A = this chain, B = another copy of it.
Amino acid sequence: MHAPAFILVNPQMGENIGAAARAMLNFGLEHMRIVGPRDGWPNEKAVAMASGAGRVLDNAMVVDTTDQATADLTYLFATTARPRGMVKTVMTPERAMEEARSLIAAGEKVGVLFGPERAGLENDDIVRANTIITVPVNPEFPSLNLAQCVLLTGYEWRRQTVTAEAEVTDTLRNRLAEGREVDALVAHLTAELDARGFFWPEHKAEPMRTNLENLLRRRALTDAEVRTLFGVVRYLAEREKGDTRGRD
């Protein structure tokens, strides 16, 4: 197993099982196990809701008891909304999935228990877990449903495994302008403005030039953008030159 199994314990509504399957597949998770689904198995509503994620249901292990679902696992997390008065480590989904990644990298087989919609996991199931996961919700409105809890845990799993994707700039698809191109733009714009008395009063001219240049430079421009800005300046200024020439 290269990813944790998500184990739904006594889920009630088929729709929620289907939504959980979708949420899992959104983040590349495919190992679902289902313990004693209330409405039996297979479940049409689950299939309908899962739509594109049907194969997660097709491949799900469906068993009667939690111990069957966890028999082959070597490390178990349990998700709960509130403390249960047990002496157990409580982790955020982030920390827990970081831990899961290390465990799996070391060859361990990891599972995460999710309780039924209304009541959540019973203490008998929680006690089986090595570690508890609690999502840090607003204590005044802690109403995550089953599929949301699966979604957030799956999201953290994927965050752990897909690294260094933190920030991409579409800019990289376009070539950034070379220094000399930006220099030319700055010079051109400054000259046009200067000719029109923009840099005034005199004692403020220098800081005004600096600010304007900074505005153009503080975000790297692509070469396409530099060309666009050249065009903007030319079009804005153009008619005026024609007129000047006409007056000469």
Q: Which residue numbers of A lie inside 8 Å of B, CB to CB?
A: 22-23, 25-28, 52-53, 83, 85-92, 94-95, 132, 135-138, 140-144, 148, 151-152, 155, 158-159, 162, 165-171, 173-174, 189, 192-193, 196-198, 208, 211-212, 215, 218-219, 221-222, 224-225, 228-229, 231-233, 235-240, 243-244
Contact partner of A94 (CB less than 8 A), chosen from B52, B138, B166, B235, is B166
Task: Give chain B nearest CB distance to A76 CB in angstroms.
Answer: 16
Contact partner of A168 (CB less than 8 A), chosen from B53, B90, B231, is B90
Give A218 to B222 CA distance when docked, in angstroms: 12
Complex A-B: 13 CB contacts under 8 Å: A25-B141, A87-B225, A89-B167, A89-B171, A95-B166, A135-B155, A151-B151, A189-B232, A196-B238, A211-B224, A211-B225, A219-B219, A240-B240
Residue of B whose beta carbon sits closest to that of A90 = B168
Give A142 to B63 CA distance when docked, in angstroms: 29
A136 and B158 contact, Cβ closer than 8 Å, known pairs A165-B92, A189-B232: yes
| Contacting residues, chain B, for A219 (C-beta < 8 A) | 218-219
Task: Give chain B nearest CB distance to A59 CB in angstroms.
Answer: 14
Q: Which 9 A-B pairs have the closest CB atoms?
A: A236-B236, A219-B219, A28-B138, A243-B243, A239-B240, A240-B240, A25-B141, A198-B235, A196-B235
Task: Give chain B nearest CB distance to A100 CB in angstroms.
Answer: 14
The answer to whether A169 and B212 touch across the interface, beta carbons within 8 angstroms, is no
A198 and B232 contact, Cβ closer than 8 Å, known pairs A53-B141, A148-B151, A243-B243: yes
Task: Give chain B nearest CB distance to A23 CB in angstroms.
Answer: 7
